[in-house]
Structure 1
Amino acid sequence: MRVAALQMVSTDQLSDNLQQAQTLLEQAAQAGAELAVLPEYFCLIGQRDADKLAIQEPFGSGPMQDFLAATARRLGLWIVAGTLPLTADQKDRVFNSSLAYNPQGECVARYDKIHLFRFDNGSESYDESRVLERGSTPTVFALPSRDGHTWRVGMSICYDMRFPELYRAYATQGVDLILAPSAFTHITGQAHWEVLLRARAIENLSFVAAAAQGGVHPSGRRTWGQSLLVDPWGQVLAQQAQGAGVVWADCDAARLQQLRSQLPSLQHRVLV
């Protein structure tokens, strides 16, 4: 199954970001992708954290969700929409939610980011809990591919990748493709991005697709980029350093099964 990771440099203008996403999704479809993954905050990286509140939508309706459903139908493409802000229980918070759409334009899965990023090194400071409500439920969906294999796909977002217990739970559920749409900061990405993603692939013998924000945004925030796809052996199949673009790779179900047969480490777990 051909999987595309879409890298963006989202701005503080929703309409511009949707246009950029549409162009990249069309490129992914033209490249023969069955699944295209948008990055975290594909719809908006604002001047302030609270800008997310102004564009929030209730789950199931709204311009962003309508755009995603219509684009999936038009392109005949599975789309996982990085993240967008969905209305939460608290009035001054939103969920940072990843939605999966099938080629009929139906939303088949929703994952609300569980682990909320906090970082302060004295010069850069982030705290997602100021505007985000934490999710609580790991989410898996089934994707029947043209190759005849039904892929079990585990959803995650950015900072989640620092918490391997989430991905071990996915491995227990038979997940063979992990998605990690992200907006890693430049400083943390430079240090940890690739090694974390490769570790999640290796320890769970799973493919990983990580679509990222990659560039300098109007607020001055600088994101690391390096959208990539990793195979279950930890080999980077495709990547892009910076700037908007599409990277893709073919995820081979036969290779997945071969590697799991050769090294059956998932069967050797003792502490569960």
Structure 2
Amino acid sequence: MKLHIAVAQMGPIARSDTRRQAVARLCDMLEDAAGRGAKWVTFPELALTTFFPRWTIDDTQELESFFETEMPGKETQPLFDRARKLGVGFYLGYAEIAGDRRFNTSILVDSTGNIIGKYRKIHIPGDAQSQDGYPIQHLEKRYFEVGDLGFPVFDAGDTRIGMCICNDRRWPETYRVMGLQAVDLIMLGYNTPTGYGRLGEPRHLPLHHNHLSLQASAYQNTCWIAAAAKAGVEEGIHMIGGSCIVAPTGEIAVQALSEDDEVINYVCDMSLADGYRGNIFHFERHRRPEHYRAIVDRVGSSRSPF
């Protein structure tokens, strides 16, 4: 089976930009992707606003202006309407308020404009308070709870689709849990800055680590991965691009070349995973979970034997 998918990378969103402006950009890229024949589109993490966790925001009203209380809402409904008109499904990342709880969330919307899946980010990076000496603050732990929906996989016609968000992509457990559910395609969005914390990383490494994580995980879990960045210099902070579609071979099939709004697409041969699932990564034949207890029983590393 062939599946035509697209990734819609976004350039910067200013703090002063409105939800309507962001949605208009998403709609334009959805049109572009549909015009190329794509049936699914991946949008970035927190695609409706600037990446607000870089600031300490004490004003409750301002903070809540970055969150969605319903989906779709009045300002996001046009994206759902456009998807229905075009017959294209999509992944969308946004900040969610659910009662008195806040999550970094993504949804899966089918070609009829209906939500068929939801995921809440589990691996929350950064800090709960500003850190002295950090050139860039990353305060997701201040604003988001750990997701409570696990890593579900959703039936979308003949394709099983899973989701994750940004920092989740660095953790092998993310993909293996979905791989064990026979996932075919994993969609994810990210907002990744260069120069975070005190690591002192060379500027090229965040993009290298991004692709390293995606390529290894696609190969080891025999699935396609569609990853969308919010990129460029946003409110003075540089964020990596590198949006891409990765094959089950671990190869990058197509990659964005800019750090602005850009659509990339690829006709994916979903049967490409079959050889790996039936041989090297035939889980039922080769996995030995009785020897993996440390993965779930121990959170941090230790010198003591297990």
Query: Structure 1 length normalisation: TM-score?
Result: 0.89
User: CA shift at 1:30, angstroms?
Assistant: 0.3
User: CA shift at 1:22, angstroms?
Assistant: 1.0
Counterparts of 1:36-51 in structure 2, within 5 Å, are: 36-45=41-50, 48=55, 50=57
The correspondence for 1:227, drawn from 243, 266, 287, is: 243
User: CA shift at 1:190, angstroms?
Assistant: 2.9
Q: 1:46 to 1:206 in 2, by over 3 A?
A: closer
Query: Is 1:155 equivalent to 2:163 in the alignment?
Result: yes
Task: Show the counterpart of 1:79.
Answer: 90
Mapped contact 1:10–1:41 kept (Cα < 8 A): no
User: CA shift at 1:202, angstroms?
Assistant: 1.2
Mapped contact 2:23–2:76 kept (Cα < 8 A): no
User: CA shift at 1:10, angstroms?
Assistant: 3.7
User: CA shift at 1:261, angstroms?
Assistant: 2.6
User: CA shift at 1:88, angstroms?
Assistant: 3.0
The correspondence for 2:145, drawn from 125, 133, 147, is: 133
Counterparts of 1:231-250 in structure 2, within 5 Å, are: 231-241=247-257, 242-250=259-267
CA distance in 1, matches of 2:249, 2:56: 37
Mapped contact 1:68–1:79 kept (Cα < 8 A): no
Q: Which amino acid aligns with 1:270?
A: R
User: CA shift at 1:46, angstroms?
Assistant: 5.2
CA distance in 1, matches of 2:208, 2:166: 14
User: CA shift at 1:49, angstroms?
Assistant: 6.1
User: CA shift at 1:259, angstroms?
Assistant: 3.3
Query: Is 1:32 equivalent to 2:37 in the alignment?
Result: yes
Counterparts of 1:101-180 in structure 2, within 5 Å, are: 101-118=109-126, 122-137=134-149, 138-144=151-157, 150-180=158-188
Mapped contact 1:40–1:158 kept (Cα < 8 A): yes
CA distance in 2, matches of 1:63, 1:10: 23
Q: Which amino acid aligns with 1:134?
A: V
Mapped contact 1:5–1:38 kept (Cα < 8 A): yes
Task: Show the counterpart of 2:202.
Answer: none
User: CA shift at 1:263, angstroms?
Assistant: 2.6
Unpaired runs of 5+ in structure 1?
145-149
Q: 1:160 to 1:230 in 2, by over 3 A?
A: same
Task: Show the counterpart of 2:6.
Answer: 4
Mapped contact 2:276–2:282 kept (Cα < 8 A): no
Larger Rg: 2
User: CA shift at 1:65, angstroms?
Assistant: 4.1
Q: Which amino acid aligns with 1:135?
A: G
User: CA shift at 1:125, angstroms?
Assistant: 2.3
Give the root-mean-square deviation of aligned CA atoms.
2.0
The correspondence for 1:210, drawn from 201, 205, 227, is: 227
Mapped contact 1:177–1:206 kept (Cα < 8 A): yes
After the TM superposition, which of the residue ranges 67-76 and 111-120 deviates more from structure 2? 111-120
Unpaired runs of 5+ in structure 2?
196-204, 293-306
User: CA shift at 1:141, angstroms?
Assistant: 1.1
Q: 1:238 to 1:202 in 2, by over 3 A?
A: same
CA distance in 2, matches of 1:46, 1:75: 29
CA distance in 2, matches of 1:69, 1:156: 21
Q: Which amino acid aligns with 1:140?
A: V
Q: Percent identity?
A: 28
- The number of residue pairs the alignment matches comes to 263
Task: Show the counterpart of 1:147.
Answer: none
User: CA shift at 1:32, angstroms?
Assistant: 0.4
SS at match of 1:258: helix
Per-residue deviation, residues 162-209 of structure 1 (Å, max 9, x unmatched): 221121111111111111211111346234111011111111111111
CA distance in 1, matches of 2:192, 2:154: 25
CA distance in 2, matches of 1:192, 1:231: 17
